[in-house]
Chains A and B, each alone.
With several copies, the nearest count.
Chain A
Amino acid sequence: MADLDDLYREIILDHYKNPRNSGSIESPPALVEEGFNPLCGDEVKLYLVIEDDRIADIRISGQGCSISRSSASLMSQAVKGKPISEAFDVLARFRRMMGIDGEESGEPEVADVRSLGELAALQGVVKFPVRIKCATLPWNTLSAAIARSLG
């Protein structure tokens, strides 16, 4: 049985209670994208300002559990100010950590996880398969927003 401590690490609870980059940005200039977790009703609303192929600003609102909220908060820190290409790279590494898109066998590269910084706190989610969707919701929403901005 997976342990709850793996899931609810301190960083996660902190980001849940004090979400970074929370709020909204007027649109335009912001791009707005909504994501749903159809199975549980969680909703995330992303406000993105993209300038010169970089994520100049990002804000997040919505409703969600500790995992989806902290994942959104951590994501916003990880991509804010970054070129889109770099954001995609983080996204890819994050998905591998969640066991999606990876080798069939699972376990992500250690180096990969390390490079994620604070985001690595979400690694424990993998042991709780149902919660993976919570963790990936903001990321999938981000990738949908970027895809749309690219046309």
Chain B
Amino acid sequence: MASTIRSAMTADTLDVRVIRKDFPIYQQPYEDKPFIYLDSAASSQRPEQVMQAMDEYYRRFHSNVHRGVYTLAEEATARYEAARVKVGRFLGAKDPSREVVFTKNATEAFNLVAQGLGRVLLNQDSVIVLTEMEHHANLVPWLILQEQIGFTIRYITFDSDGYLVLDELDSILDGASLLGVTMMSNVLGTVNPIAELAAAAHRHGALFLADAAQFAPHFEVDVSGLDIDLLCLTGHKMLGPTGIGALWARSEILDRMTPFLGGGDMIADVRLDGFVASEIPYKFEAGTPPIAEAVGWASAIDYLESVGMGSLRAHDLKLTEYAIANLTGSLGSAFKLYGPKVAADRGGVVSFDLAGVHPHDVAQVLDQHGVCVRAGHHCAKPLMRQIGTAATARASFYLYNDEADIDALVAALEDAYALFN
């Protein structure tokens, strides 16, 4: 299959017709209408290869991991641990077998950071810094911990073009213990200057936490090169299954962190009056982990790597440019784009407003045309307040989308505009 994918590329462009052959959802659409999927930022579709990997696991190798002496359990464990190493390598981790903690999604990973690291790092006099464009996943865990132990949260704001305002970064970071920033906004599309932010955090002695939920599916990540300390990501947005995500962190940091979820598999010893936690990464993985999901995610990473993250980015960029040009061209001033005007500064996510039509109604009319877009606050309510609206419509692109999808989007939006105006 890998060879099929490779042959789909010529000079950094993907052949979407070839790619789609790998995605069963394009073979047998659910409804008798076109299937124009523009919601990969919420969750991507899965290639055949990922389903086969999970299926093979269940059909031939399943048993619980870590605790079995028999061959099948060893095999299951080996596959689960190989998936860990695969995720670690994909991120450029130095010690992949010890630095990746599997969680159920990116959100759990953020909660693990807040509770596991926050409780040893912070007290009521501490300061952490987040941005106003964070997803709730990198906000609410901190707000919960704040209620429990108290500390100050400062926020970096962003300007009307969706760029973080970094003029006063040094004063904002003064005295901070941690800076947490999304690598790519799921609403504005903005790709943030991560290396610069990480360096600034370190200058002030703060740890740098990155939200890669949107970034990792679309760009090459290199935690070592970017000098990131902790990073959260999720499987289902990058061709993997639901039910799995991960925290990557430098091993010294994981060592410092207290366990978060308690239970089987994360302990060295348990007595009736206390317990001793196991080693990293196991001390953070309580109970039976998402084994088949880890295997599926590893296969998704294989798929992404065989396509090539560079080609993928080039493809995203091409579609984003095409979309911005055509939406503005066809809808004129009725179309309002959120986030950077320059496609190169953003990922394949386009949030917009259509004059006189509420985003829900936009999505509803688009659905009639088979065009799937998301409408709402995109789990980023503070961001929405900052841009002065309660909801936007959002189209997002991935390797199986092409220009024809965007043409369909434009046509459907023209229809929605006509219906309401």
Contacts and interface: CB of A to CB of B under 8 A. Distances in A.
Interface in A28-71: 36, 38-43, 63-67, 69
A44 to B, nearest CB: 10
Contact of A38 (B69, B78, B278): B278
A1 B31 contact: yes
A8 B66 contact: no
Contacts of A39: 66-67, 265, 376
B326 interface: no
Contacts of B365: 4
A78 interface: no
Interface in A61-119: 63-67, 69
Residue with the highest number of chain A CB atoms closer than 10 Å, among B73, B377, B389: B377
B391 A40 contact: yes
Interface size class of A (residues with CB under 8 A): 20 to 34
Contact of B376 (A4, A13, A40, A129): A40
Contacts of A36: 268-269, 276
Contact of A43 (B265, B375, B390): B390
Contact of A129 (B74, B269, B276): B74
Given A36-B268, A36-B269, A39-B376, A67 B360 contact: yes
A63 B359 CA distance: 11
A15 interface: no
Interface in B68-111: 68-69, 71, 73-74, 77-78
Residue with the highest number of chain A CB atoms closer than 10 Å, among B31, B278, B375, B376: B376
A11 to B, nearest CB: 14
Given A36-B269, A40-B375, A41-B381, A8 B359 contact: no
A1 B370 CA distance: 11
A131 B278 contact: no
B389 A63 contact: yes
Nearest to B359: A65
A8 B269 contact: no
B256 interface: no
B260 interface: no
Contacts of B364: 4, 7, 128, 131
Interface in A117-140: 128-131, 134
B390 A41 contact: yes
Nearest to A62: B390
A41 B384 contact: yes
A68 to B, nearest CB: 8
Contacts of A66: 358, 360-361, 420
Given A4-B368, A41-B381, A63-B390, A134 B360 contact: yes
Interface string B2-43: 000000000000000000000000000001110000000000
Nearest to B385: A41
B390 A38 contact: no
Contacts of A69: 358
Contacts of A130: 68-69, 73-74, 77
B286 interface: no
A38 B259 CA distance: 15
Main secondary structure of the interface of A (DSSP, over half): mixed
A117 B300 CA distance: 47
A64 B358 contact: yes
A129 to B, nearest CB: 6
A41 B358 contact: no
B391 A38 contact: no
Contacts of B279: 38
Contacts of A41: 376-377, 381, 384, 390-391
B282 interface: yes
A79 to B, nearest CB: 24
B267 interface: yes
Contacts of A64: 358, 390
B419 interface: yes
Residue with the highest number of chain B CB atoms closer than 10 Å, among A39, A42, A67: A39
Contacts of A67: 360-361
A42 B376 CA distance: 8
B376 A1 contact: no
B280 to A, nearest CB: 12
Contacts of B267: 38
A4 B368 CA distance: 7
Interface in B35-66: 66
B413 to A, nearest CB: 14
Interface in B397-421: 419-420
Nearest to A134: B360
A89 B74 CA distance: 30
B228 to A, nearest CB: 26
Given A39-B66, A41-B377, A65 B384 contact: no
Interface in A1-28: 1, 4, 7-8, 13
B419 A38 contact: no
B353 to A, nearest CB: 12
Interface of A: 1, 4, 7-8, 13, 36, 38-43, 63-67, 69, 128-131, 134
5 contacts: A8-B361, A13-B420, A38-B269, A41-B376, A134-B360
A-B pairs with lowest CB-CB distance, top 3: A41-B377, A65-B360, A65-B358
